[in-house]
Amino acid sequence: MFSGFSSAPAGFQFFFVLIAALVIGGFIYAIVSGTKTWISNNNSPILTVDAVIVSKREDVSVHRHGNAGDVTGAHGYHTTSSTTYYVTFEMENGERKELHVSGKEYGLLAEGDSGKLTFQGTRYKGFERSIRHAETAQEESIQELKYRQE
């Protein structure tokens, strides 16, 4: 099968097999872990609770790729990036839950907003802002601006 492989030094053969096993093991771990999370979320009830947004964060990943498949960079590089958005909610019982949200949802949510959070396990399902809280926050902002102008 690999006639040249058997003539390679024993150390090379060992490390080649070790690296291949680690790569395959990593793929298997990722698949099993993702499947476990998916099953756990599917078996979790859909809950709607009162919550307040206590923080927001972004995780930006930047990747450089060689043009024309050239990893040496002789043909230059192009860069791609992706952003993952997270929002941390605090429930009435004091428990905090950080959930992955879409970019659109992230832009619509603000720290300090309160309302009804709907989630299933680690899946964000939605957040319905309390209008009364929004009006109160707007009034507080107006009063703070008046205070600064005095």
What confidence tens digit (pLDDT) does each residue in 29-42 have? 999 999 999 999 99
CA–CA gap between residue 95 and residue 24 (Å, rounded) = 38
Domain boundaries, the chain: 1-43, 45-57+86-149
Query: What integer is the mean pLDDT of 101-124?
Result: 95
CA–CA gap between residue 18 and residue 125 (Å, rounded) = 42
Asked if 129 contacts 74 with a C-beta cutoff of 8 angstroms, the reply is no
61 or 139, higher pLDDT = 61
44 or 134, higher pLDDT = 44
Looking at domain 45-57+86-149, its CATH class is mainly beta
Please name the residues in contact with 84: beta carbons below 8 A apart, sequence gap of 6 or more. 58, 59, 61, 100
Q: What is the dihedral of CA 29, 33, 39, 41, to 10 degrees?
A: -170
pTM (whole model) above 0.75: no
- What percent of the chain shows pLDDT beyond 90? 62
- At 53, the pLDDT band (50, 70, 90 cuts) reads very high
